[in-house]
Structure 1
Amino acid sequence: MAATAAGCQHYVRKCLLKAPCCDKFYVCRLCHDDEEKHKMDRFQVREVKCAVCDRVQEAQQACRGCGVTFSEYYCDICHLYDKNKEQFHCQPCGICRIGPRRKFFHCQKCNLCLANDLQGKHKCVENVSRQNCAVCMEDIHTSRIGAQVMPCGHLLHKTCFELMCRNGAYRCPLCMQSAINMTEYWEERDMEIAHTPMPPEFKDQKVKILCNDCQNRCTVSFHVLGMKCSSCGSYNTSQD
């Protein structure tokens, strides 16, 4: 695949990677994976070809033939070539992250780099980023799409999370806990129920429910519009 001065749709670079799996040259692993029936391991890349002079050489940041700089940013571990986005290589993650580094910390339990404002304010789930996104079922850890950390600690791609919310879904697909602050919606539900009395034969009917948000079980009045948890006030409940 030919490279241009701009690289490809995924990365800005002036070289092609020699895929160790098939010895073919591609601008990036994503271009390779789109065309081949197998995946390219970018960590095993040993050679690149200059897009300016076509010289094949060991992976490095500048061409040994014509001297052109292949990219503003280069990682000799990930063999990532790209324009400068203040990337940094996170050793525990094992890959490069878009920075700047000072705005992120690595959570050892989650095994993931997170924004500093989440330090001490997120629910840890062990190795959470090693799971696929529960919406698109694609990898999260090495994805170029950012991850959305939900209150339950699970992750979705930001784009998948936004799509889920636009479609009216508010619960984590993995644990069913509310994925956003639902206080305003629960107050609206209170108003709807107050103005929608049940028929006399159901007025005093009680049911046992399990709350998906606080995990408490309680007995409440039945209503077709929802059963409210007496512990946390959530309507994200199901009959137990």
Structure 2
Amino acid sequence: MSEPTNTQLGIGDFGCTHYRRRCKIVAPCCNEVFGCRHCHNETKNNEEINVVDPHDIPRHEIKKIICSSCDTEQDVQQYCINCGVCMGKYFCGICKFFDDDISKQQYHCDECGICRTGGKDNFFHCKICGCCYSKVIKDGHHCVERAMHHNCPICFEYLFDTLREITVLPCGHTIHFECVKEMEQHHRYSCPVCSKSICDMSSVWKNLDQVISTTPMPITYKNKMVWILCNDCGVNSNVQFHIVAHKCLSCNSYNTRQIQGVPSSSCSSRVEETVR
């Protein structure tokens, strides 16, 4: 089948704030017309609007689109049946997705079930994590089951199909990249899910060593011992109490918290399994 002759008609003239494309979608859930699924979801879940039935569009169930060039309603397809215009240079018949900006290097991942950006050759699908990651971390990432099938622990946006850049922390948990940067601005350097350190903190630990050595405790507390749990390695330690911080005897991290009572011998392993 030959390509229609006027496929370039209206390039750059149509679309919404999310995508450049030459069609609108008819939402199967409410039968209303929107620029894209994000336009629908933002409208139908906007708390400032009196929405009777808040919901997200079932993207794979979209069956009808409307050509932005000639206003012809038709089944989902890349080229308009009336004027022949190309609805989007990138087209996925599974996701019912159109986009003219192919510089994003879109591709459809069968295992994710949705379209991704960044180029198929640059990503791999981790079956345990249940999502696509950059090949840069293929041999070194820590697997967490269904790692992106939850909300960002900072902004609470669902991560699996977010449009914003995500990053994988050393512990394996995922979070928006800009949310990590915001955490760092507030001097927060531990995972908001499992509390493990998100970067190399060795220089900070050395500074704390110096602070503690120059901050003697009153005689009342000189022999006071406390049990601590290390958030980084999951090991319990019995250490001398100090007002500044407590150092893990196993990995020398100060990312610890004081716990009550004497932990059982299996406590460390149970905690380690939990944070994983």
Same fold (TM over 0.5): yes
2-side partners of 1:47 and 1:190: how far apart?
65
- 1:77-156 aligned at under 5 Å gives the runs 77-82=94-99, 83-84=101-102, 85-156=104-175
**Aligned match of 1:54:** 71
**Aligned match of 1:192:** 211
Aligned 8 A contact 2:232 2:253 in 1: yes
Q: Please tell me whether Structure 1 or Structure 2 has the larger radius of gyration of its CA atoms.
A: 2
**1:75 pairs with 83, 92, 110, which one?**
92
2-side partners of 1:184 and 1:103: how far apart?
33
Instruction: Give 5+ residue unaligned stretches, structure 1.
Output: none
Q: Secondary structure at the match of 2:148?
A: helix
Runs (4+) off by over 6 Å: none
**1:25 pairs with 20, 27, 33, which one?**
33
Cα deviation, residue 96, structure 1: 0.7
**Aligned match of 2:177:** 158
Q: Secondary structure at the match of 1:33?
A: helix
1-side partners of 2:189 and 2:241: how far apart?
22
Amino acid across the alignment from 1:29? R
1-side partners of 2:136 and 2:233: how far apart?
24
Cα deviation, residue 215, structure 1: 0.3
2-side partners of 1:167 and 1:6: how far apart?
41
Aligned 8 A contact 1:93 1:112 in 2: yes
Cα deviation, residue 116, structure 1: 0.8
Q: Do residues 16 (structure 1) and 24 (structure 2) align? A: yes
2-side partners of 1:70 and 1:29: how far apart?
15
Aligned 8 A contact 1:86 1:98 in 2: yes
Aligned 8 A contact 2:15 2:21 in 1: yes
Aligned pair count reads 237
Cα deviation, residue 190, structure 1: 1.6
Aligned 8 A contact 1:5 1:51 in 2: no
CA distance 1:182–1:6, change in 2 (3 Å): farther
Aligned 8 A contact 2:16 2:35 in 1: yes
2-side partners of 1:70 and 1:141: how far apart?
26
Cα deviation, residue 201, structure 1: 2.8
Amino acid across the alignment from 1:180? C
Aligned 8 A contact 1:18 1:25 in 2: yes
1-side partners of 2:86 and 2:213: how far apart?
68
2-side partners of 1:189 and 1:53: how far apart?
68
Q: Secondary structure at the match of 2:203?
A: helix
Cα deviation, residue 93, structure 1: 0.7
2-side partners of 1:168 and 1:72: how far apart?
44
Cα deviation, residue 38, structure 1: 2.1
Cα deviation, residue 218, structure 1: 1.0
Amino acid across the alignment from 1:173? P
CA distance 1:162–1:6, change in 2 (3 Å): farther
What fraction of aligned residue pairs are identical, expressed as a percent? 41
Cα deviation, residue 207, structure 1: 1.6
Query: What TM-score results when the alignment is normalised by the length of structure 1?
Result: 0.94
Q: Secondary structure at the match of 1:96?
A: strand
Q: Secondary structure at the match of 1:52?
A: coil
CA distance 1:231–1:160, change in 2 (3 Å): same
Q: Secondary structure at the match of 1:144?
A: coil
Aligned 8 A contact 2:14 2:68 in 1: no
157-166 vs 82-91, which moves further: 157-166
2-side partners of 1:68 and 1:52: how far apart?
7
1-side partners of 2:73 and 2:180: how far apart?
42
- Computed over aligned residues only, the root mean square deviation of the Cα atoms, in angstroms, reads 1.4
